[in-house]
Amino acid sequence: MNYTLNQLQIFLKVVNTSSITKAAEELNLTQPAVSIQIKNLQAQFDIPLLEIIGKKIYITDFGREIAESAKGILDQVYAINYKTMAFKDQLVGRLKISIVSTGKYVLPYFLTEFLRSNPGVEISIDVTNREKVLESQLLNEVDFSLVSDALENPTFDYVDILSNDLYLVGNNETAVMSPTFNYKDFKNELPLIFRENGSGTRKIMENYFKKQGVDGLKKIELMSNEAVKQAVIAGLGYSIMPIIGIKNEIKSGALKIIERNGLPISTKWKLIWHKDKNLSPVSKAFLTYLIENKAQIRQKYFE
């Protein structure tokens, strides 16, 4: 067997996401690079690790056993690295953070200097929707999570780190309308583009339109903010989106904000954790860093 740690890490990410595309995004690799590594790993086994039916990936029973073994191997490697760093009196450990998809525009800026100052700390980030983010907290699968809407669960502690404003947007042609337009027009002529069920942005949009007294709006449903953004740019419809993920498109003119009473919708980005969780030294150090430096980070990157 000549498999590499890199191959095991990539395979484990594919298993966890059930997607080559999502695995590539989370590992900052191209899809072909991920596919090649999976193919090289598979070549060392006579039994299939994955099955592709249609466009969907299914993990075989054998594949799940290999994934479990891979996790154990990688955990042992991390442990060796941590022990080496500990002997050098460095902060060592691993941070596991789950974030909603738009959080990828936020979290990196709050991690950069902390990781630079603590090279013995490794980070694992799971990008998913709000429903799964909260589930990962309840199941104690992560140290922290990043969400962007009202936190109604008293099980969690949190710290506010950044404002989050959401605007109604269209493209150059579709965004030309009076600020007093009637939302009921969306039922027939102006389709709305929503995120999937479980998304925080979806929940915010539904609550907003409910307050406007309009239900049953004609809609398109997509699985990521990037897909929604591209659909709006292409003129498929309109959406309410966090400004943090569309600043470049607004600046270039590919997207335009549609003015309307009650907008933008303002929420807060919150880093949350389970109240009963016994935070590791690395988690405590990161939380302390965040509280002490969040104002400076906001000013440097977001104001």
- Tell me the per-residue pLDDT of 43-58, one tens digit each, with 9 for 90 and over: 999 999 999 887 788 9
Host H or E run for residue 100: strand 93-100
C-alpha to C-alpha distance for 22 and 34, rounded to whole angstroms:
10
pTM given for the model: 0.70
- Tell me the per-residue pLDDT of 276-299, one tens digit each, with 9 for 90 and over: 998 988 999 999 999 999 999 999
Length of the chain: 303
Q: Compute the half-sphere exposure of residue 204: CA atoms within 13 Å on the CB side of its CA.
A: 26
Render the burial of 83-110: b for 16+ CB within 10 Å, e for the rest: eebeeeeebbbbbbbbbbbbbbbbbeeb
Q: Is the pLDDT of residue 87 over 90?
A: no
Average pLDDT on 75-90 reads: 67
What is the separation, in whole angstroms, between the first and last Cα of the chain?
52
C-alpha to C-alpha distance for 300 and 294, rounded to whole angstroms:
10
| Per-residue pLDDT at 262 | 83
Average pLDDT on 198-226 reads: 83
| Per-residue pLDDT at 179 | 60
Q: How many helices (H) and strands (E) does the chain have?
A: 10, 11
CA triplet 7, 9, 12: central angle to 5 degrees? 105
